[in-house]
Chain A
């Protein structure tokens, strides 16, 4: 399994042609208290860089983009009942959705953990 990051602060864990997507710890820290999450339905087609989910903090609403193109296989049902999972465990239980990759080559442009850490330290 490999983990990649986008400059928009999504992470994606890839295992074969399946993947799990969420937002980074840095991102949840910037957003503050999360009060609502809208995750995509199973079967929805998402395009790399396209809107895939919505996350709302006390102060602001933000889009979550698909790091790569694919078909959604599951939205995280736990976030509907407890959006604060994104604050408490952003890179674990607070994942947003799972998808099946349609263009695995799109992963090549994403950052690895070291590159993302460096990217964030420069913000």
Chain B
């Protein structure tokens, strides 16, 4: 009697304010996940129905080279995009932190403004840019750099450009956040002790901004696995990523169980990636959290 009483006293009051949140998570996060997991072990029936019989067939089908290839293709594109985003975004974020206050907020505003339009709209902007005889062609031909229209649209480089464009801010912000916290005096101390600028950067600034770079990598690599519409729009549907395959299985093939299995595998892969990130981040002395955003 007294035990249940104390339990109620200690447990319920703590639980109750957050109860709606727990319920929300249960219904809208856990529920769909369980549904998806269950669906992935069923099989399709008729044109688009689902038969509730246990099967491993969907997971076996993922092993077929064509379908497994979409995972390879996705990881490859994500890797290429992430590396490009590091090359462009790291210096951007790093030097942005060194601007004076007024310029810093101006640059930040310029980074945010494009987000006020729909991402699809911005992608269509790239289509106009890359189109045969579009602005880019006119410029390059006007400068006598190229002689005839380049066929940029619906190509792999176009997809990579779109990915970089969509992901760049997610690298710049975390890098900026950790570069801003960087104690400039440490760099000056290194310089005073005779380190060259490059050596001072490599031994002081880079390790201290590593957490920002790391979370930037997570924030670009993980979502890039799901940005299938960029491959659709700028790649002319020819670069088949896991996301494209899932979309197609849902919308065109009406094979929901296979789409669910693909999603489960994709989620497991992403989770492993985040787990590795946290392990690596902890061994390097970080908190394992996402610097700059969490």
A and B associate in one complex: no
On B, residues with C-beta under 8 Å from A are: none
